[in-house]
Amino acid sequence: MLNAKAPLPIVETAFMASTTAMLFLINYYFPVGPLFRMFFPTPIALIFLRWGYRSAWKCVLVTVLLLTLLMGPTRSIQFMIPHAFVGIFLGYAWKRGMSWSFTLPIGSVINTLGVFFQAALVSVLVQENIWLYFVVQFTQLLTSLFQFLGIFTPPSLWLVQGFATVSIFCGNFFYQCLIHVGAWLLLDRLGIAIPAPPSWLESLLEE
């Protein structure tokens, strides 16, 4: 007798892959801030929680193939690094009950490395140093901040790059908070428990 649950992993993996690809596609052509981006890793993490790492990687593969067909290899690579890796990491961490105090910073590091990778990828494609553009923007910001504080010495290159890196990490930390909160609320409605947010964040959500 066939197992009635045998097709479920395949069906759910295919559905989550198509959902993830659709979210990424819609967000690219009709960006609405973090509304869609906060759910990019969630379907992959959901598959990991329900069916394990093999199905999660299959979900990543199908999503990448769909995006390659719909948008080209460059966009599919930009999805995979970092969003797919974040989804795999969160699924692994949540399945083992790891707290947000661990997953938030590690997820932020993965996202930050993804930003640097995408900057390098775009730099190669357009034959221009995108990081230099970041440095120029942050140099102007730091110079204005220094002048406001009464410091008229121009910031050094190392200070600017360090400030840029920290700023990117902080932005990705906030983005990870959105991912965690969105996943926590969504998965709770689906009856899938993940570690609860820390008390300080839970109190903010209750307010």
Rounded distance between C-alpha atoms, residue 48 and residue 22, angstroms: 19
Please report which confidence band the pLDDT of residue 174 belongs to, taking 50, 70 and 90 as the band edges: very high
The CA distances from residue 90 to 29, 39, 74, 83, in Å, are 27, 12, 24, 10
- Is the sign of the CA dihedral 107, 181, 45, 35 positive or negative? negative
Rounded distance between C-alpha atoms, residue 172 and residue 158, angstroms: 21
pLDDT over 90 percentage in the chain: 64
Rounded distance between C-alpha atoms, residue 60 and residue 77, angstroms: 11
Higher per-residue confidence, 154 vs 107: 107
Would you state the pLDDT for residue 3? 52
Would you state the pLDDT for residue 206? 67
Would you state the pLDDT for residue 207? 60
User: Quick one: how far is CA 169 from the chain centroid?
Assistant: 12
- Asked if the model's pLDDT at residue 205 lies above 70, the reply is no
Would you state the pLDDT for residue 2? 42
Which domains are present in the chain? 7-206 (1.10.1760)
CB–CB of 16/41 below 8 Å?
Answer: no
Rounded distance between C-alpha atoms, residue 183 and residue 185, angstroms: 5
37-83, pLDDT tens digit by residue?
889 999 999 999 999 999 999 999 999 999 999 999 999 999 999 99
Rounded distance between C-alpha atoms, residue 103 and residue 109, angstroms: 10
- Asked if the model's pLDDT at residue 6 lies above 80, the reply is no
Would you state the pLDDT for residue 114? 95
- Asked if the model's pLDDT at residue 18 lies above 90, the reply is yes
Q: What is the pTM of this model?
A: 0.89
- Asked if the model's pLDDT at residue 34 lies above 70, the reply is yes
177-202, pLDDT tens digit by residue?
999 999 998 998 888 889 988 887 77
